Copies of this chain bind each other. A is one copy, B any other.
Amino acid sequence: MVESGTSASPETGHPGGDRPRLDRQRILEAGAVFIEEHGVRQLSMRRLGAELDVEAMSLYRYVPSREDLLDGIVESVVDELYSDPEVYVEPRYGWQDYLLRLAHGLRRLAVKHPQVFPLIATRPAEAPWVRPPLRSLRWVESFLRAMTQAGFSNEQAVEAYRAFSSFLIGNLLLEVAALGADIGPVEDPDPSPSRQADLTDYPLLQELQDLLSEDRSKQEFDAALDALLDRLDSQLT
């Protein structure tokens, strides 16, 4: 990238290519944007540097490694949940209300960041029992408090936490996979006929193809969530 010649104002101001100075948060956000645009596989230190008008090596002043960069991006995206006004309210309307808000907040997050969500779901967490997508001690504590205060035993609260995590991962991972289809690697669209499945040997698939292609994620999410809440409720007394 040809640049510089920006000797006039060191702080700010150029309309075309100004460079607000590097800092960790700016790098993480640029990383999240880059992943959403090009996929994780395409994210290299060099390319992210270029995006920020900087050499790759400069990033190492703020981020110890590419791995740590990815962890940082995940953390920074998940932290958006704290500023979701629909989620972050005092849990005084009962545990079902709390779980509903939390689940829908995480679904909004997943749909907003379909390319980052698989990382949220699959990166190793701080401790083995901190299960995605609730990747922080603070949320786990909050979850368990809501449940125990509602009358669940310690064992039941922990079991509910696990069931809730599994429910979210399964539903949201498959939803974003169907969305962007790029849940792991591979970037090219590839609309070649080879990619179009040959259904001649599968009469039922042929018949149901329209149904199978229909997107009912929202309804299914709500239905499964409802069933989960019922199941948990039945454990209470």
A interface, CB within 8 angstroms of B:
67, 70, 118-119, 121-124, 126-132, 137-138, 140-141, 144-145, 148, 154-155, 157-159, 162-163, 165-171, 173-174, 177-178, 181-186, 195-197, 199, 201-205, 207-209, 211-214, 216, 220, 224, 227, 231
Contacts and interface: CB of A to CB of B under 8 A. Distances in A.
A209 B128 CA distance: 11
B148 A204 contact: yes
A211 B154 contact: yes
Given A144-B204, A184-B119, A126 B197 contact: yes
Nearest to A196: B127
A166 B177 contact: no
Given A170-B166, A170-B170, A202-B138, A128 B178 contact: yes
Nearest to A169: B170
B137 A186 contact: no
A202 B137 contact: yes
The 9 closest A-B pairs by CB, nearest first: A170-B170, A166-B170, A129-B212, A141-B202, A122-B184, A169-B170, A127-B197, A122-B183, A158-B211
A137 B205 CA distance: 8
A128 B213 contact: yes
B183 A123 contact: yes
Contacts of A126: 195, 197
A233 to B, nearest CB: 12
